[in-house]
Amino acid sequence: MSSILTIEKGWALFLDRDGVINKRLPDEYVKQPDEFEFLPGVTEAIAILSAIFQPVIVVTNQQGLGKGLMTLEQLDKVHKKMTEGTTQKGGRIDQVFFSPDLNNSRSFSRKPSVGMGLSARKQFPTIRFRKCIMAGDSYSDILFGHRLGMKTVLIGTDNSVLKQCGDILNYRFDDLISFARAVEINR
């Protein structure tokens, strides 16, 4: 896979949250702001990506809400910490979409289903999915992007996820900062 990703102006970026922006808690959910910890280089990466993409959107499955392990107010506080943390470092997250639905619900809003993508396009009518990138760390993230016709980027070093993605994956980077440094605008 190429180490340089060339796009034109006017592309949108979709990012997964847990495992891409913040540390994933093994067998647990980020329920409080003090449990939210940016991964190394992420705030710098989002600052770089914010200068390239418009809009920058986070799409995240949050079944901890559906399980009753956190409240909407707690989730909002976590997302406020994330957005303010990126803004303080010169970055921007234009919107966060989340699905509270359980994994076995087959919900249209839960990735890999495309509901959050369609909601984003409704809110940001300039979005054209063929001019979007979905960056995530799981097969469901990559399948979500593929189903919408986006370019897909796997973030992480898990070879089992890489194998699962097969030919629906366009790019792979170890972390978000490596991805951000590889994006170029074709002039």
Query: Looking at 16, 101, 137, 141, which residue is catalytic?
Result: 16
Question: Is position 101 annotated as part of the catalytic site?
Answer: no
The confidence score (pLDDT) of residue 30 equals 96
Write the DSSP symbol of residue 176: H
Q: pLDDT, tens digit, for every residue of 125-184?
A: 999 999 999 999 999 999 999 999 999 999 999 999 999 999 999 999 999 999 999 999
pTM of the model: 0.96
pLDDT at 2 over 60: no
Tokens at 90, concatenated: 């010169």
The confidence score (pLDDT) of residue 186 equals 82
Residue closest to 111 by CA, chosen among 147, 75, 145, 144: 144
pLDDT at 4 over 90: no
Alpha-carbon distances, residue 43 vs 1, 32, 108, 181 (angstroms): 25, 19, 30, 13
The confidence score (pLDDT) of residue 1 equals 52
What average pLDDT does the segment 49-76 reach?
96
- For the chain, give every domain's residue range: 5-185
The confidence score (pLDDT) of residue 26 equals 85
Q: What angle do CA 166, 168, 172 make, to 5 degrees?
A: 75
5-185 sits in which CATH class? alpha beta
Question: Is position 18 annotated as part of the catalytic site?
Answer: yes
Query: Looking at 18, 101, 137, 141, which residue is catalytic?
Result: 18
pLDDT at 76 over 90: yes
